[in-house]
Chains A and B, each alone.
Chain A
Amino acid sequence: MLGVLLLAFSLVTIAHSDFCRPDAQNAFKVRISIKTALGDNAYAWDASEEYLFKAMVAFAMRRYSDKETTQISNVLLCNMTERVSFWFVVTDSAKNVTTVPGSEVEAAIRMNRNRINSAFLLTDNTLQFLKISSTLSPPIEPTVPVWLIVFSVVLCLVVAGILFLVVSGIRQRKKNNNESVEIGDLEDKCDTSVTTENGIPCDILDLKAGQINGVYAADDEQFTPL
């Protein structure tokens, strides 16, 4: 009886170690970077954390398949390193000694990635499932691009400035034109009075004789005779 039990136990252990190997079928490598994520608040990775990890994977499998069959004992971890990286595989207790297909495990983990990350206070980058690519969240795009808003504001200001300057320039020129026309009218009015040239009224100057300017002495002898 004991011998049979021993044999069964050793078979199971061998089977288990067969299942969980680096690069085994349906096995995934996990890499955890606690110090990078948490710095001084980093916790140590020990057996209890491993237990939590197994529980989270079992939880993810249960959520995904809606069957309450996956147990913590179904999740096998191996090849733990100092890096904190290890391989894990999920066995199927319904069918004897087989592993759950990798695609199912991948889908289950993808679906519950957030929950798994938050259980360990880590992110997609610091808790890496090496074959499972994470879907990156796109940045939030506002409905109207911000640059268009700023652009429109600046454009309106500039156009308003141009219009203001152009209109005030036109008004200034009109005022100048009106003023010069008024000044012209004023001068015309003054001109209707007697036109004078050097203090002598013009109509007298029109006489053919003209006026003799006494400053220049009409002294013929000053001029050289021809």
Chain B
Amino acid sequence: MENPRPLWDNPLQFVFACISYAVGLGNVWRFPYLCQLYGGGGFLIPYFIMLIVEGMPLLYLELAVGQHMRRGSIGAWKIISPYLSGVGIASVVVSFFLSMYYNVINAWAFWYLFHSFQDPLPWASCPLNSNHTGFDEECAKTSSTQYFWYRKTLNISPSIEEYGSIQWEQAVCLILAWLVVYLCILRGTESTGKVVYVTASLPYLVLLIYLIRGLTLHGAVNGLIYMFTPKLGQLANPKTWINAATQIFFSLGLGFGSLIAFASYNEPNNNCERHAIIVSLINSSTSIFASIVTFSIYGFKATFNYENCLSKVILLLTNTFDLEEGALTADNLDSMKDYLTSTYPNQYVELLPQIKNCSLEAELDTAVQGTGLAFIVYSEAIKNMEVSQLYSVLYFIMLLMLGIGSMLGNTAAILTPLTDSKFLSTHFSKEVISGTVCFINCIVGLAFTMEAGNYWFDIFNDYAATLSLLLIVLVETIAVCYIYGLKRFEKDLLLMVGHKPNWYWKIMWAFASPVLIISLFIFYLTDYISTGTLQYKAWDATQGELVTKDYPSYALAVIGLLVAASTMCIPLGAIIIFIMKRLKRNVSTLE
């Protein structure tokens, strides 16, 4: 007797799994950055338009395909058309690349979490130099948080060519991260279903705590005003719309096969239409919620730095001109500067290069995204709060929950097709298959713990998934609408959900979304081609800042391989199936 397909215990587990997968680090560290760059409050307009045109329809499409076909991505697309099995394989390849590098972020989050149990926090101050007369040179040039990230955590090398050795501390954190992921996926939906209750809800709790704390911080209002003042002029910039579309697309995690995998464990009559709407709305609102928190933290950090800068200038002037303590304050600084310029012109001119123009705007303008935001900016803000250990622990636990939630989806995308295949599931048990996948990923992931590992991480982050996913989802949409047939799909949905999809869904699936994806695809291709050589930012320890360098040729080759490995699966799959069918036909006609 065949084992029945495992199911979620209740629809809530499915919704939580989707939310846990979709709400990831991108909501926390990419959306606030985009909001800041592309018009503040005004960015919400293209964002919501793209959600309605692209996000919800494509999400519903993937969930419906998974729920109806009751197979992982490879099996599902094979059922739709045998020539499309390449699409499923491409999804699995992209998910594989993603899980290779994504868990390194969890390793970093573990590292920071473990270091949060110290008083004072290790990134709060610079370490001393060898003869204890001052601070370490590299640390003095940048800030203590940047030093902790680049030197203590990554121990980064000056360029991608210099590999360095594997950092054992990062390696053990990575191994721990993979063990945690294995623990969660070990039993399939049975274990995953329980874990997602925690990974989906805990981040909201922490964000709420941070919201309350953030809004009460000194200077938080500056950040919020800066963010929400809409700069509607940006709406005319095409990059705004492109970035809104890209953000919705990648934030929902379409095309990886994870959503198909999750939906395949549903009851056949689950109302996936309602769930698609709920998940996409929750994902977008979480982005906005997270950016409110981020911007109040930004405002706090910017105000803190601005006031620090001012007191440094005041101290400098007080010491040079031997004025009475407290004579210079933030309010009378400008008038006093004029007075000093007129009274001691020579000395003031000498001092001029050292006097920085402190500006709150300049501090707020430093837009950061990605690991820089999560690990540098946030830790800098945290170190200045009272009870910083508590906030630090909470914050990194939240990052871990977000990261592990997304990892569960990624590994499900790889494992579901593997456990669906009769060959593997009869010979190996679920635990062995998941264990092997985790082990292989862990070994490959160790490459990212080398000294140059962060540069390779950036390569994977920027190039492994972007183009391939657009192509995969485009093929998916066209396949369902035109190859499988929209009428047939409507009938399937009627069976599952209980009513046919209305005109909104059909128009989006058949016209709007494919057109949008094609334009995104063309934009990205032209962008890659017109940029010429690709460049990256390397950390220069002597200057204490990032410098731009060109990628060496073998790095470019790896980038090309990454993109080709997944995109080529689609045509290759079709060609191979075509050849096999031809051969079978020849064989049968010969008989």
Contacts and interface: CB of A to CB of B under 8 A. Distances in A.
Interface of A: 31, 33-36, 81-85, 133, 135-139, 146-148, 150-151, 154-155, 158-159, 161-162, 165-166, 169, 173
Interface string B37-78: 000000000000000000000000000000000000000000
Interface in B22-48: none
Given A84-B325, A151-B176, A165-B183, A136 B132 contact: yes
A137 B183 CA distance: 44
Contacts of A83: 318-319, 322-325
Interface string B98-135: 00000000000011011101101000010110001110
A166 B186 contact: yes
A82 B179 contact: no
28 contacts: A34-B325, A81-B322, A82-B322, A83-B323, A85-B319, A85-B322, A133-B134, A135-B132, A136-B128, A136-B132, A136-B133, A138-B128, A139-B120, A147-B117, A147-B118, A150-B113, A150-B114, A151-B110, A151-B114, A151-B173, A155-B179, A158-B180, A158-B183, A161-B183, A162-B183, A166-B431, A169-B187, A173-B429
A173 B431 CA distance: 12
B233 interface: no
Contacts of A161: 183
Contact of A150 (B117, B183, B323): B117
B118 A146 contact: yes
Q: 6 nearest interchain CB pairs?
A: A147-B114, A81-B322, A82-B324, A83-B322, A35-B325, A150-B114
A165 B179 CA distance: 13
Given A135-B132, A150-B117, A155-B179, 8 more contacts: A85-B319, A138-B132, A148-B114, A151-B110, A158-B176, A161-B183, A162-B186, A169-B187
B81 interface: no
A37 B550 CA distance: 50
A82 to B, nearest CB: 4
Contact of B319 (A31, A139, A155, A173): A31
Interface in B316-336: 318-319, 322-327
B182 interface: yes
Interface in B120-175: 120, 125, 127-128, 132-134, 172-173
A169 B433 CA distance: 14
- A34, A84, A165 interface centre (most CB from chain B within 10 Å): A165
Nearest to B311: A36
A151 B318 CA distance: 48
B191 interface: yes
Nearest to B318: A83
Interface of B: 110-111, 113-115, 117-118, 120, 125, 127-128, 132-134, 172-173, 176, 179-180, 182-183, 186-187, 191, 318-319, 322-327, 429, 431
Contacts of B132: 135-138
A59 to B, nearest CB: 25
Contacts of A162: 179, 182-183, 186
B322 A165 contact: no
Contacts of B183: 158, 161-162, 165
A167 to B, nearest CB: 10
A119 to B, nearest CB: 20
B179 A36 contact: no
Contacts of B325: 33-36, 83-84
Nearest to B172: A151
A136 B326 CA distance: 27
Contacts of A35: 325-326
Contact of A169 (B113, B319, B431): B431
Contacts of A135: 132-133
Contacts of B186: 162, 165-166, 169
Contacts of B113: 150
A133 B115 contact: no
Contacts of B120: 139
A201 to B, nearest CB: 29
A35 B318 CA distance: 13
A155 B172 CA distance: 10
Given A83-B322, A135-B133, A155 B431 contact: no
B551 to A, nearest CB: 34
Contacts of B179: 155, 158-159, 162
Contacts of B127: 139
Contacts of A158: 176, 179-180, 183
Contacts of B118: 146-147
Contacts of B431: 166, 169
A124 B326 CA distance: 20
B332 to A, nearest CB: 16
Contacts of A166: 186, 431
A165 B176 contact: no
Contacts of B133: 133, 135-136
B407 to A, nearest CB: 14
Contacts of A148: 114
Nearest to A134: B133
A165 B114 contact: no
Given A146-B118, A162-B183, A166-B431, A136 B134 contact: yes
Nearest to A153: B114
Contacts of A146: 114-115, 117-118
B176 A155 contact: yes
A154 B132 CA distance: 35
Contact of A154 (B125, B128, B134, B176): B176
A81 B172 CA distance: 58
B316 to A, nearest CB: 12
Contacts of B176: 151, 154-155, 158
A159 B117 CA distance: 22
A165 B187 contact: yes
Contacts of B322: 81-83, 85
Residue picked from B118, B120, B325, B327, most chain A C-beta under 10 Å:
B325
B38 to A, nearest CB: 39
A162 B431 CA distance: 10
B50 to A, nearest CB: 39
A75 B505 CA distance: 90
A105 to B, nearest CB: 18
Nearest to A148: B114
A76 B133 CA distance: 28
A161 B429 CA distance: 18
A165 B323 contact: no
A204 to B, nearest CB: 33
Contacts of B326: 35
A135 B128 CA distance: 10
Contacts of A138: 128, 132
B347 to A, nearest CB: 14
A43 B187 CA distance: 70
A148 B169 CA distance: 9
A161 B176 CA distance: 13
Nearest to A135: B132
Nearest to B321: A83
